Every structure is written in structure tokens, then in C-alpha cells.
């Protein structure tokens, strides 16, 4: 008995009724269900039409077309299917056998045939045909698997970016509109780092399933489109029914649902809670954009949501594009700014409680040949992102040292802002030391301003660099103090001599009670630790008075001096010293 899938694989092409009957009954007895054909041409058409290999018992002499022609054409016209052809004939000379095999037959059986021999020869055919069918099945399932891998995410089982993009394309091609969202798990990296990749994967799984659950009743597609990012496409029921503000409302309502659902703890590690950032944008066929462009837009909106601190939704708008364009332009032009001499060193004076000159902070300015003065608030973040800050920082430090070396006998120091990227450079210490020694400037005339953000980096490296520079005579100041997230313990363990109270705390003085309380607490702490306090952004006499009453303080603010070209500032203030 053959295996079930091989039962009806046999074709008998034979015109002699007696041989035909004999073959048929013998095969039926063995459990086959053969197809029977008497005409040569019909036999060829039938076999050719089959997509699966057959075992063909082919009579040499037949009406319409003889067996040799049939097998030749079969081999020529269906090279892809390995039919197993056994030629039946009363010719049984060696040359006939060779002739049939060369025409393309696989085997040869002389009439009258012995049933046992027939059985044995059919078995060989069955083995080959069976093998082929199994192989075909394996290839089919491998293809299915490859298709799954290409279109689905292995961790969550959700569609991946490829399939998601195809979905957007399909929707647009159908002339429909939808809400597109990109959801990112805030600080997912930390969960991965703290709890391990397995726990991270588990969270992604729960997260994906819950996200899908949020849109169960809708015809939405939820996909995992990057490591910790999910895409959602929610088609509108009737696109034409929505006005712009309704679409915005639609986006916010859906996003709100996600924020609310994701705030509930996930059942791992005794309950993990996360927040999410969402970028959203409408997708409509009228926009005539490529799917990747829609994805770029939600990504841009998502980056904005992240930059605002996360745990919120931002909807893509035109202003965002303008900002991107501007940033791009800045980055392009900034690359040549140092070489073209477009940077200027400005200083802002710092004064003591009696308004006497104490020192100054170096603040860089960029004079763009077309756009005029560009504020560091605009170009420093771009420089930090692109790495150009290294060049700019070097230029500022050299300018400051040049200025100090021109005034070797005057007793004032200059504060220089050091960006985290600059500080992280392996050669930072050597570089700073060489700049001062080349100009014979005493390091104690320079204060290096760093931000609290620096301190969450590799603390051993930070401490080593700070200690080396401090031993050489440099002083360190913590800029924008109070706005970072780090603990205060570093103030004791690192060689820090000054803190600069951020402008946001000074702004509310003296009226705002919270600001007042914070400022007083900072003074108390600074006094205990022996740190100098500089107040940033002092704009009114009331603020200055409040600060002077709170403790010993150095003022830096528009009330006393605005940033101005370095030499002017020095001339002015040194001229005022009695």
C-alpha cells in the first residue's frame, strides 16, 4: 500500500485494452488509483498539465503520438517536474532499451511483464517521486518561515517595519486616511541594563500585546518598528468627514488611551511601570507622500516629545520641519565658521556684593555672514550633536588664554564652558594643559564650567580628569546648578570650588517663596561645603539684595553687565577698579 499522498500519482498511457486492464487491476490491488489514457497526444497534455511528478507507465506504440515522442516533448517542455517514466514495450533488444532511455525514459519494462518486476520498478519511481514531493513541501514551509521572518518581529510576533510600511502604502493606495503613531518606551535602555535583556524582551512582549489590546475593536495595525518603538496605524472610518482640528483631536484621543493603558504596571519583576512618548501625524492620500516620509514625520514628532522630557504626545507640524531645516543649515554653515573666523569671544562680567569686578564668563558668539548674530542657545546644541563642539571649545579656550596672556599682571579669572563631549575626550586633560602652557597662562586664572549632566557618565574617568586638572591649578564650577538630576554627593568627592545657581531659581526672587527657599538652601549647603556661589541671571536690584542678604555671592546678570566683546569688557571693568 503506497503512502496516501502517492496513491493517485500513477498514469497509465496504454491503448491495448488487455494490458490496460491488467495494469489497472494490479495497481488497484496494491492500493493505487491510476489515471488511464489511451491516446498519445492526450497523455502528453495530461502529464504536462500536472504540477506534481507522476509515475508514467508509457506504451511505446500508441495512436496519436508514440511513447518516444511523448517522453521527448515531456522532457523538453516540463523540465521543472521530474516525472518518472517507465517505457512499456514488446521490443526488448538492448538497442531499444538504450534508445528509450536516451529519449528521456527513466526505466524500461518488457511486455508481457512480470507483476513482481512491475512492482519493484514502480517502487523505485515512488521513492524518487516521494522524495521530490517531500522536498517541495519542505521548501514551501521554509518559504513561509522566511516570509514570516521578513515581515514579523521574532520577539513580539507583531508585524515589523517592513510589513508596517507596506500597510501604510496599501492604505494610501486605497485612497484612505489614517492616524499614524510611533510609540517609544521611555528609558527602556535602563530597564534593559538594570534587569537584563530577557526581562527587556518580556516587557516588550507585554507592551506589544497591551498596545494591540488598546485598538482591538478598530481595524488598526500595531507593529514593532525598532528596538523599543512601536508603530500604530488607525484608519479613519470616513476620511472626508474629518476637518483638520478633528484629526488633531482624533490623534490626541487615541494617544491618551495609550498613555493611560501603559501607565498600569506590567506583571514582571513585581510590577514594572513605564511611561511612553508618542509622535503622531495624519496619513492621507492627498499628501501624496511615500510611506517612509510619513514615518520620518512621526519620528520627528517623537524626538520632540523625548526632548521635552518624555511621557507625552507631540503631533507633527510645519514648524517642526522649519526647525529641522534651520538646524541642518546651521550645521552646514557652522562647519566652516571657525576656519572662516566667524566666531567672536564675548565676556560677561561677574561682580561681588559691592558691584566690584571679580571675573568673567566666556560666552561664544557666531557672526553669520548672512544671518548676523546667532545665539549659542541655537548653535551650541547643534555643535554638540555634530561633534563640532570640540573645535569650538578649543577655539574658545585658546582665545581666553590669549587674552589672559596679554594681561599677565592683572588679577582676574575667566570661566570657560566645557561641554560634556569635550570633557569626555581622551586627550582633554593633555589638551587643556598644553593650551595654557603654550601661552604661559597660570591655570588658576581659569575656571572650567561643567554641568551636572557630566556626572552621570563614567565617574571614575570624570574624577581622574578633574583631579589631574585641579592639581595643576584649574578650578571647577558646576553650571546651571539645580537643574540636573544627579545626587549631591559628588560635591564632596570631586574637586569642585564653585556652583552657579541656575537662572530659573533667581527669576522668581524675591517674591516667589519656593525659589527663595531653594536659594537659601543652596547657600547653606555651599557654606557647609566651602563652595563659592555665583548667581546667574541677576536682572533686578531686588534680586541682588535678596541674594546678598542670603550669603556671600558673586553676581552675573544683565543688571551689572551684558555679554560684550571680550576686550571691551576687560577695558571697561579694569578701568573702573579704583
**Comparison of 212 and 561: residue with beta carbon closer to ligand C2E:** 561
Grid cell digits, residue 346: 564675548
Report if residue 479 touches Mg ion, rule: CB under 5 A. Answer: yes
Distance CA 560, CA 296 (A): 46
Look-up: residue for cell 532511455? 101
Per-residue contact track with Mg ion, 216 to 255, x per CB under 5 A?
Answer: ----------------------------------------
Q: Which stretch binds ligand C2E (CB under 6 A): 171-179, 489-497, 535-543, 547-555?
A: 535-543
Distance CA 222, CA 235 (A): 12
User: Which segments within 446-497 are labelled E, that is strand?
Assistant: 446-451, 475-481
**Comparison of 181 and 397: residue with beta carbon closer to ligand C2E:** 397
Number of residues that bind Mg ion (CB under 5 A): 5
Residue 190 has, within 13 A of its CA and on its CB side, a CA count of 8
Distance CA 156, CA 205 (A): 5
Q: Which stretch binds ligand C2E (CB under 6 A): 230-238, 424-432, 458-466, 550-558?
A: 550-558
Distance CA 459, CA 424 (A): 11
Distance CA 344, CA 404 (A): 16
- 503 CB-near residues (< 8 Å, 6+ apart): 536, 537
Report if residue 399 touches Mg ion, rule: CB under 5 A. Answer: no
Grid cell digits, residue 389: 563642539
Q: Which stretch binds Mg ion (CB under 5 A): 2-10, 284-292, 471-479, 540-548?
A: 471-479
Per CB under 6 A, which of residues 318..357 are in contact with ligand C2E?
A: 348
Report if residue 359 touches ligand C2E, rule: CB under 6 A. Answer: no
**3-state SS assignment for residue 509:** coil
Judged by beta carbon distances under 5 to 8 A according to partner kind, the member of ligand C2E, Mg ion, none in contact with residue 558 is: ligand C2E
**3-state SS assignment for residue 410:** coil
Among 364, 499, 554, 570, binds ligand C2E (CB under 6 A): 364
Report if residue 449 touches Mg ion, rule: CB under 5 A. Answer: yes
CB of 539 to ligand C2E, least distance (A): 4
Q: Is the dihedral of CA 145, 147, 152, 155 positive or negative?
A: positive
Report if residue 537 touches ligand C2E, rule: CB under 6 A. Answer: yes
Distance CA 89, CA 262 (A): 77
**Comparison of 291 and 563: residue with beta carbon closer to ligand C2E:** 563
Report if residue 160 touches ligand C2E, rule: CB under 6 A. Answer: no
Distance CA 444, CA 447 (A): 7
Closest CA to 316 of 299, 293, 335: 299
Q: Which CA distances in Å does 513 have to 499, 508, 520?
A: 21, 8, 11
**H-type alpha helices, 174-290:** 188-195, 197-214, 244-262
Distance CA 370, CA 198 (A): 54
Report if residue 380 touches ligand C2E, rule: CB under 6 A. Answer: yes
Judged by beta carbon distances under 5 to 8 A according to partner kind, the member of ligand C2E, Mg ion, none in contact with residue 557 is: ligand C2E
**Comparison of 220 and 380: residue with beta carbon closer to ligand C2E:** 380
CB of 524 to ligand C2E, least distance (A): 23
Q: Which stretch binds Mg ion (CB under 5 A): 234-242, 392-400, 529-537, 561-569?
A: 529-537
Per CB under 6 A, which of residues 389..448 are in contact with ligand C2E?
A: 389, 393, 396, 417, 419
CB of 324 to ligand C2E, least distance (A): 21
Judged by beta carbon distances under 5 to 8 A according to partner kind, the member of ligand C2E, Mg ion, none in contact with residue 363 is: ligand C2E
Among 26, 275, 539, 564, binds ligand C2E (CB under 6 A): 539
Contact residues for ligand C2E, defined by CB under 6 A: 348, 362-364, 375-377, 380, 389, 393, 396, 417, 419, 479-480, 503, 536-539, 556-558, 563
Amino acid at each position: 500500500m503506497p503512502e496516501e499522498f502517492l496513491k493517485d500519482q500513477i498514469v497509465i498511457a496504454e491503448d491495448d485494452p488487455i494490458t490496460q486492464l491488467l495494469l489497472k487491476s494490479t495497481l488497484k490491488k496494491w492500493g493505487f488509483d491510476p489515471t488511464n489514457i489511451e491516446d498519445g497526444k492526450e497523455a502528453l497534455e495530461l502529464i504536462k498539465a500536472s504540477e506534481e511528478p507522476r509515475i508514467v507507465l508509457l506504451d511505446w506504440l500508441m495512436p496519436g503520438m508514440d511513447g518516444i515522442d511523448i517522453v521527448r516533448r515531456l522532457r523538453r517542455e516540463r523540465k521543472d517536474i521530474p516525472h518518472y517514466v517507465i517505457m512499456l514495450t514488446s521490443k526488448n533488444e538492448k538497442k531499444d532499451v538504450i534508445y528509450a532511455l536516451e529519449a528521456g525514459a527513466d526505466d524500461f519494462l518488457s511486455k508481457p511483464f512480470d507483476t513482481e518486476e512491475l512492482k519493484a520498478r514502480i517502487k523505485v519511481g515512488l521513492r524518487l517521486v516521494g522524495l521530490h514531493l517531500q522536498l517541495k513541501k519542505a521548501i514551501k514551509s521554509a518559504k513561509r518561515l522566511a516570509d514570516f521572518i521578513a515581515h514579523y518581529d521574532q520577539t513580539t510576533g507583531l508585524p515589523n517595519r517592513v510589513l508596517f510600511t507596506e500597510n501604510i502604502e496599501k492604505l494610501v493606495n486605497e485612497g484612505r486616511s489614517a492616524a499614524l503613531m510611533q510609540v517609544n518606551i521611555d528609558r527602556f535602555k535602563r530597564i534593559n541594563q538594570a534587569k537584563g535583556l530577557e526581562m527587556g524582551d518580556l516587557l516588550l512582549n507585554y507592551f506589544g500585546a497591551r498596545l494591540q489590546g488598546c485598538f482591538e475593536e478598530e481595524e488598526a495595525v500595531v507593529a514593532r518598528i525598532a528596538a523599543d518603538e512601536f508603530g500604530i496605524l488607525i484608519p479613519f472610518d470616513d476620511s472626508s468627514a474629518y476637518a483638520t482640528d478633528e484629526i488633531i483631536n482624533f490623534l490626541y484621543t487615541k494617544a491618551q488611551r495609550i498613555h493611560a493603558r501603559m501607565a498600569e504596571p506590567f506583571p514582571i519583576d513585581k510590577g514594572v511601570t513605564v511611561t511612553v512618548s508618542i509622535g503622531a501625524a495624519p496619513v492621507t492620500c492627498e499628501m501624496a507622500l511615500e510611506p517612509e516620509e510619513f514615518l520620518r514625520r512621526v519620528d520627528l514628532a517623537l524626538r520632540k516629545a523625548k526632548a521635552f522630557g518624555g511621557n507625552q504626545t507631540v503631533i507633527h507640524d510645519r514648524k517642526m520641519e522649519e526647525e529641522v531645516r534651520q538646524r541642518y543649515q546651521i550645521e552646514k554653515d557652522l562647519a566652516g565658521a571657525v576656519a572662516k573666523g566667524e566666531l567672536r569671544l564675548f565676556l560677561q562680567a561677574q561682580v561681588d556684593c559691592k558691584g566690584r569686578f571679580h571675573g568673567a564668563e566666556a560666552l561664544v558668539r557666531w557672526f553669520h555672514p548672512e544671518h548676523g548674530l546667532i545665539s549659542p542657545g541655537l548653535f551650541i546644541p547643534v555643535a554638540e550633536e555634530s561633534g563640532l563642539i570640540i573645535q569650538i571649545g578649543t577655539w574658545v579656550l585658546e582665545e581666553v588664554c590669549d587674552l589672559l596672556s596679554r594681561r599677565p599682571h592683572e588679577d582676574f579669572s575667566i570661566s570657560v564652558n566645557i561641554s560634556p563631549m569635550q570633557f569626555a575626550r581622551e586627550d582633554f586633560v593633555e589638551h587643556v594643559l598644553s593650551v595654557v602652557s603654550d601661552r604661559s597662562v597660570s591655570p588658576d586664572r581659569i575656571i572650567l564650567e561643567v554641568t551636572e549632566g557630566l556626572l552621570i557618565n563614567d565617574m571614575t574617568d570624570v574624577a581622574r580628569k578633574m583631579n589631574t586638572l585641579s592639581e595643576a591649578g584649574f578650578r571647577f564650577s558646576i553650571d546651571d546648578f539645580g537643574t540636573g538630576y544627579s545626587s549631591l554627593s559628588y560635591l564632596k568627592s570631586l574637586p569642585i570650588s564653585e556652583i552657579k545657581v541656575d537662572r530659573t531659581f533667581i527669576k522668581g526672587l524675591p517674591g516667589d517663596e519656593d525659589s527663595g527657599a531653594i536659594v537659601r538652601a543652596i547657600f547653606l549647603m555651599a557654606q557647609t561645603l566651602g563652595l563659592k556661589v555665583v548667581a546667574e541671571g541677576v536682572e533686578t536690584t531686588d534680586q541682588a539684595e535678596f541674594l546678598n542678604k542670603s550669603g556671600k555671592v558673586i553676581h552675573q546678570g544683565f543688571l551689572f553687565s551684558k555679554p560684550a566683546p571680550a576686550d571691551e569688557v576687560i577695558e571697561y571693568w579694569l578701568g573702573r577698579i579704583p
